């Protein structure tokens, strides 16, 4: 194995602009050995490093079965701005993969409810891609339901918008926006993503939920799911914190006693039950 606290070289294969402030870049690890040793599961993240600027945690938005290793980034700070200025062929540093991903085996035979808000779609796209890739392989039995609820600010902010039609036969996709721009035609829902729960009838006995988005949206989603009697043990959240080292020795990402970088970022709600409502933890 390689040392994940030291960055290794990765080349940008291509960059795609997703929305006005979000882009996806495909990376290729330069070293053959690291490339071979590099294994990730959906929900894990990498630290992308622009030498001279710094590094930033970005979740992997492609599935391990996909050909390209994708990172979907919103331009927000120094490093992400620097990343957005790079071109195909440029070299950056990368460390990873870090953290605990989504429990895909547990979700295999259950109805999977994916709830995403904003850029929270990125680690969940990894799950959706994984479902698409593995769907055909499963021959026996009834396919469990796969539902994706996704809320963005405006129709322009919907990341991966062009992909959702392709999910249709396998994943039920529901989109909503907080507010539709008057100048843009929008046929979908308006309102918070949690409002979409009313449109579904889910069977709490065989439903598992993966949730990622702004903290307040995750809290509301958990409340809604518990109202619908989905047990806390089967609700998973992917948390966001300031991550600096990725391996649990810098202390920036504490969520109460949890290191989000190594214990998370994906947590079972029952694990963090007492901590969720507490302000500024």
Partner 1 sequence: MKKLKKKLKKELKKELKKEHIGFLFSTLRNSHKIIGPKIEQGVVVLGEIDVHDIPAGYEDHQKGGSYRLVKGERPEIFSFSTGPDSFKRFLSPPVIEMFAFKSSRTGMAITVPERQGKPLAFIGVRACDLAALKLYDRVFLEGPEKDQRYASLRKDSLVIALDCSYPGDNCFCHAMGTGPSVTDGFDMGLAELNESFLVEAGTIAGQRLLDGLPLEEATEGDRKEKAERTERCRGMMKKSIRTDDLPRLIYRSLDHPRWMDIAERDLECGNCTQVCPTCFCNSRYDLVRLAGISPRSREVSGTRVRKWDSCFSRNFARVHGGNFRPSRRARYRQWMSHKLAYTVEQFGLPGCVGCGRCITWCPVGIDITEEMEALRDVR
Give the shortest CB-34-to-partner 1 separation in angstroms.
13
CA distance 191 to 175: 10
CA distance 101 to 3: 20
Give the shortest CB-61-to-partner 1 separation in angstroms.
17
* Binding window for partner 1 (CB under 8 A); candidates: 32-40, 87-95, 182-190, 193-201: 87-95
Told to check if 137 binds partner 1 by CB under 8 A, we report no
Helices (runs of H) and strands (runs of E) counted in the chain: 6, 15
- With CB under 8 A as the contact rule, the residue among 45, 102, 210, 259 that binds partner 1 is 259
Q: Which two tokens stand for residue 248?
A: 């649990």
Told to check if 76 binds partner 1 by CB under 8 A, we report yes
Write the DSSP symbol of residue 99: S
- With CB under 8 A as the contact rule, the residue among 90, 109, 178, 271 that binds partner 1 is 90
Residue 43 or 113 with smaller CB distance to partner 1? 43
Show contacts with partner 1 in window 211-240 (CB under 8 A): 240
CA distance 148 to 167: 10
83's enclosing H/E stretch is: helix 78-84
Give the shortest CB-253-to-partner 1 separation in angstroms.
8
Backbone angles phi, psi at 183, to 5 degrees: -80, -10
Residue 137 or 278 with smaller CB distance to partner 1? 278
* Binding window for partner 1 (CB under 8 A); candidates: 105-113, 138-146, 171-179, 253-261: 253-261
CA distance 198 to 110: 20
Q: Which two tokens stand for residue 198?
A: 């009313």
From 104, 86, 81, 101, select the one nearest 25 (Cα to Cα).
Answer: 86
Show contacts with partner 1 in window 19-58 (CB under 8 A): 51-55
Told to check if 71 binds partner 1 by CB under 8 A, we report no
**Count of beta carbons in the 10 Å neighbourhood of residue 93:** 15
Told to check if 105 binds partner 1 by CB under 8 A, we report no
Give the shortest CB-155-to-partner 1 separation in angstroms.
21
* Binding window for partner 1 (CB under 8 A); candidates: 60-68, 190-198, 220-228, 254-262: 254-262
Give the shortest CB-251-to-partner 1 separation in angstroms.
3
Task: Tell me if 83 sits within 8 A of 25, measured CB to CB.
Answer: yes
Residue 9 or 66 with smaller CB distance to partner 1? 9
Write the DSSP symbol of residue 178: S
Told to check if 245 binds partner 1 by CB under 8 A, we report yes
- CB-count exposure of residue 168 (10 Å: 0-12, 13-18, 19+): exposed
Q: Which residues bind partner 1 (CB under 8 A)?
A: 3-7, 9, 51-55, 74, 76-77, 80, 89-93, 98, 240-242, 244-252, 254, 256-257, 259, 262, 274, 278-281
């Amino acid at each position: 194995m390689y040392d994940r606290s030291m960055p290794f070289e990765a080349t940008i294969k291509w960059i795609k602009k997703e929305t006005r402030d979000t882009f996806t870049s495909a990376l290729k690890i330069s070293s053959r050995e690291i490339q071979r040793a590099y294994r990730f599961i959906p929900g894990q993240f990498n630290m992308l490093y622009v030498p001279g600027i710094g590094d930033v945690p970005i979740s992997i938005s492609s599935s391990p079965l996909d050909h390209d290793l994708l990172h979907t980034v919103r331009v927000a700070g120094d490093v992400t701005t620097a990343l957005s200025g790079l071109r195909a062929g440029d070299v950056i540093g990368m460390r990873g993969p870090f953290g605990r991903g989504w429990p895909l085996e547990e979700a295999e035979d259950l109805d999977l409810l994916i709830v995403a808000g904003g850029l929270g779609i990125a680690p969940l796209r990894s799950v959706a891609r994984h479902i698409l890739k593995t769907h055909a392989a499963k021959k026996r039995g009834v396919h469990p339901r796969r539902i994706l609820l996704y809320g963005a600010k405006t129709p322009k902010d919907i990341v991966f918008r062009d992909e959702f039609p392709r999910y249709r036969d396998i994943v039920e996709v529901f989109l909503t926006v907080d507010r539709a721009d008057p100048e843009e035609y929008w046929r979908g829902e308006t309102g918070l993503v949690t409002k979409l729960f009313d449109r579904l009838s889910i069977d709490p006995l065989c439903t598992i939920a993966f949730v990622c988005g702004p903290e307040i949206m995750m809290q509301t989603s958990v409340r809604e799911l518990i109202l619908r009697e989905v047990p806390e043990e089967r609700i998973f959240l992917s948390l966001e914190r300031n991550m600096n080292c990725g391996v649990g020795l810098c202390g920036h990402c504490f969520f109460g006693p949890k290191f989000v970088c190594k214990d998370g970022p994906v947590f079972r709600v029952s694990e963090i039950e007492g901590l969720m409502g507490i302000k500024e933890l």
